[in-house]
Structure formats: structure tokens, C-alpha cells
């Protein structure tokens, strides 16, 4: 009996071992299969990623190619980039003689180059995908040519007032008032008048002239108000003394440089002579630009052709009534009388 139970127990143990080995074998099989599946999945995923990258590169390449083909097929925007001949600048103007250059641009090649160098940062442009920019020198040449020629529409001859120094250069310019505005009103509206009245325009140096301490002053015609810093002629009532008449003649000769400067300004930059078809705000900039160019030409002693002289009938005298402001005339009487006494003493 014992022997039979022992045999049954041993047999049961062998069965359990067999089942355990079978379970282990199945577990190892499934683990190996899972590992192989994982590796296959990884490789498949990797291949998919590589394929995706290749498709993306191909797509981007095709898009660039299509974009390039499309951009080449586009026409130039004719509404604002109309092709024009460039022969005037490349073939003609660049081969001008010095006299021809001066006639069209009103200044020498040296001064032209000086202007280009100093405004390069303001006017030089860059090429774009839509059009090539106009070269700097050509832009400056076009502007000078425009300023040196006449146009047809808006009158600007009397659009501004100016202060001229003893060398015929514009010291101060006030632009924007209509030509019908009285000179005295233009002066009072200017920053120049404010600075001069406040005493911040001139140095504080005084000189004794004819027994009177006199500072710096400006000579004006009868249209301006008499100030301690602005002297004008004695009003001719038909009863002026010989001394006062001589004062008027002497100061009139000194003021002649103003008319001379305006004549050279308008003779050189003829856009100021008659009319201009530009916007009014642009016209103001053109006037200021012409004054700056005038100063530059005078400073460099640029040639001024007699053919450019402005004839008398082209510049109306435009005599205006004297500006008399009660209380202000007394401010300049002492300085003017002192200068009169100085002229009399010098003549003796």
C-alpha cells in the first residue's frame, strides 16, 4: 500500500515538473516573440520616420520649384514700374563736358560728388525683388535737373522770406507764407523774429557808435518795423535832411546784396522763377533745398553764367507800404540815429 502511494506521489511530481517546464517554455517563447515584435515595430516605425522625412524633403523641394517657376512667370508690376530708357544718364549726361554739366545741373562735378557723399544715408535705396533701385547719383542728378528748370502750375516766386549775410548766402529762411502776405507779417511769424526779440539770436557784444551803445543789427527796407536789431530807411516825406538822405543811400547800397542773392538763387534754380506743379508741402521743401544749394554753390565759388541772370520784368519789385507799429518804432530810433551820426562823422 505504501509503495503504491509512493509511486503515485512520484508520478504526480513528475507531472507537475512537466507542466512547470512547459509553462516556462511558453513564457520564454512569448517573451522572445514580444521582443521580436518590439524590434519589428521599432524598425517599422524607424522606416516610417525615414520615409516621412524623405517625403517632406521632396514636398519642400517641389514647392520651392513650383514657387520659383511661378515667380519667373510673373510679369513686372506695370502700374508703378514702367520701364523707361536710361540713355539720358548712362549715355548722355555722364559724358557731358564741364560746360554742359554746369548748364544742366548748375554746379560742378566736384560739388555734385560732395552732395552725393553727404546725403548717401538719406537717399540711397536698395534693390528689391520687384524692381531695381535708381542709383544715388542718378537720383541726385534728377533732383538738380528738376530744380534748375521751370514748370507750369503753382506760383512760388513770393512764397518765402529770407535773411542774407554780407557774402550773399542765406542766413535764415522762412517758407510757407503766400506771396500776397506783407513782409512784416512774414517776419513776425518766423522763429527768427522770436529769437531776435528775445535777445538769443545775436552775441551780447555792444559797440559805441555815434555816442550810442549798439549791438548787431540787420538792414531791412521800409516794409519792416524798426527795431533795435532791425534798421530801415528814414521815411521819405519830401523834407528829409541831406544827412538822412545819405543814410538811406548808404544802407540801400548795403541791402543791394539781398536782391543780388535772390537773383542768383532764382537764376541758378529756375524752378523758383515761375510756376511749379508739385504739392504745396513739397514746394516748401524745394525752396529750402534751393537755398541750401545756393549757399553751397556760393561757398565753393561755383561759376554763375550771365545767361542765367533774371531780367527785371521777371521779378516784380513788389513794393509794400511801410510797416509802422506804435511803440515799436522807438526801439530802433536811437540805434538808427547813432548810425546816422557815425556816417556823418566818417564823411567828415
Tens digit of pLDDT for each residue in 265-291?
A: 999 998 888 777 777 888 888 889 999
Query: Do residues 275 and 154 lie in contact, with contact meaning Cβ atoms separated by under 8 Å?
Result: yes
Domain assignment of residue 174, given as a range: 154-347
Residue showing cell 545756393? 294
Closest CA to 76 of 128, 20, 121: 128
How far CA 331 is from CA of 9, 132, 182, 237, in Å, comes to 143, 61, 21, 21
Mean pLDDT lowest among 2-6, 58-62, 66-70, 211-215: 2-6
3-state secondary structure of 164: strand
Residue 207 has pLDDT above 60, yes or no: yes
Are 106 and 236 in a shared domain?
Answer: no
Closest CA to 264 of 207, 322, 306, 299: 306
The pLDDT score that the predictor gives to residue 68 is 61
Q: Average pLDDT of 39-57?
A: 74
Give CA angle at 244 (240, 247), nearest 5°. Answer: 145
Q: Average pLDDT of 241-248?
A: 92
263 within some domain: yes
Closest CA to 162 of 49, 294, 70: 294
Neighbours of 335 (CB within 10 A): 22
Query: Do residues 130 and 81 lie in contact, with contact meaning Cβ atoms separated by under 8 Å?
Result: yes
Round to the nearest angstrom and report the end-to-end CA distance of the chain.
173
24 within some domain: no
Query: Do residues 148 and 266 lie in contact, with contact meaning Cβ atoms separated by under 8 Å?
Result: no
What kind and span of H or E run contains 334?
helix 329-347
Are 143 and 160 in a shared domain?
Answer: no
The pLDDT score that the predictor gives to residue 265 is 93
Last residue of a domain, one of 106, 123, 147: 147
The pLDDT score that the predictor gives to residue 153 is 39
What kind and span of H or E run contains 242?
helix 242-268
Rounded Cα distance between 111 and 300, Å, is 8
Are 166 and 105 in a shared domain?
Answer: no
The pLDDT score that the predictor gives to residue 348 is 54
Mean pLDDT lowest among 124-133, 195-204, 295-304, 320-329: 320-329
The pLDDT score that the predictor gives to residue 157 is 45
163 within some domain: yes
* Higher-confidence position of 266 and 59: 266
The pLDDT score that the predictor gives to residue 88 is 74
pLDDT tier, 170 (very low <50, low <70, confident <90, very high otherwise) = very high
Are 112 and 167 in a shared domain?
Answer: no
2 within some domain: no
Last residue of a domain, one of 103, 123, 147: 147
Structural domains of the chain, count: 2
Residue 251 has pLDDT above 50, yes or no: yes
Task: Report how many helices (DSSP H) and strands (DSSP E) the chain contains, helices first.
Answer: 11, 8
Are 325 and 279 in a shared domain?
Answer: yes
The pLDDT score that the predictor gives to residue 48 is 76
pLDDT tier, 338 (very low <50, low <70, confident <90, very high otherwise) = confident
Are 168 and 266 in a shared domain?
Answer: yes
The pLDDT score that the predictor gives to residue 6 is 55
- Counting every residue, how long is the chain? 348
55 within some domain: no
Are 124 and 210 in a shared domain?
Answer: no
Q: Average pLDDT of 166-170?
A: 91
Amino acid at each position: 500500500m505504501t509503495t503504491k502511494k509512493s509511486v503515485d506521489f512520484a508520478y504526480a511530481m513528475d507531472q507537475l515538473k512537466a507542466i512547470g517546464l512547459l509553462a516556462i517554455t511558453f513564457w520564454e517563447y512569448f517573451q522572445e516573440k514580444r521582443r521580436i515584435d518590439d524590434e519589428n515595430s521599432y524598425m517599422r516605425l524607424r522606416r516610417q520616420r525615414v520615409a516621412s522625412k524623405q517625403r517632406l524633403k521632396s514636398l519642400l523641394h517641389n514647392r520651392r520649384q513650383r514657387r520659383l517657376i511661378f515667380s519667373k512667370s510673373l510679369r513686372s508690376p506695370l502700374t508703378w514700374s514702367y520701364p523707361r530708357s536710361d540713355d539720358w544718364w548712362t549715355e548722355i549726361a555722364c559724358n557731358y563736358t564741364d560746360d554742359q554739366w554746369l548748364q544742366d545741373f548748375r554746379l560742378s562735378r566736384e560739388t555734385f560728388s560732395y552732395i552725393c557723399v553727404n546725403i548717401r544715408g538719406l537717399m540711397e535705396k536698395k534693390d528689391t525683388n520687384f524692381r531695381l533701385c535708381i542709383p544715388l547719383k542718378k537720383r541726385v542728378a534728377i533732383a538738380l535737373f528738376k530744380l534748375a528748370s521751370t514748370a507750369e502750375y503753382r506760383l512760388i516766386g513770393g512764397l518765402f522770406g529770407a535773411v542774407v549775410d554780407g557774402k550773399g548766402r542765406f542766413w535764415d529762411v522762412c517758407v510757407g507764407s503766400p506771396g500776397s502776405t506783407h513782409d512784416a507779417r512774414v517776419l513776425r511769424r518766423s522763429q527768427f523774429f522770436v529769437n531776435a526779440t528775445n535777445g538769443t539770436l545775436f552775441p551780447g557784444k555792444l559797440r559805441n557808435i555815434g555816442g550810442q551803445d549798439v549791438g548787431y543789427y540787420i538792414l531791412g527796407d521800409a516794409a519792416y518795423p524798426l527795431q533795435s536789431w532791425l534798421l530801415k530807411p528814414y521815411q521819405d516825406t519830401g523834407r528829409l535832411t541831406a544827412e538822412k538822405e545819405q543814410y538811406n543811400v548808404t544802407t540801400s547800397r548795403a541791402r543791394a546784396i539781398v536782391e543780388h542773392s535772390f537773383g542768383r538763387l532764382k537764376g541758378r534754380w529756375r524752378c523758383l522763377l515761375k510756376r511749379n506743379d508739385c504739392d504745396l508741402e513739397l514746394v516748401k521743401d524745394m525752396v529750402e533745398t534751393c537755398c541750401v544749394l545756393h549757399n553751397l554753390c556760393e561757398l565753393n565759388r561755383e561759376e554763375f553764367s550771365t545767361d542765367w541772370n533774371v531780367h527785371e520784368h521777371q521779378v516784380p519789385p513788389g513794393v509794400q507800404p511801410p510797416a509802422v507799429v506804435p511803440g515799436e518804432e522807438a526801439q530802433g530810433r536811437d540805434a538808427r540815429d547813432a548810425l546816422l551820426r557815425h556816417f556823418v562823422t566818417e564823411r567828415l
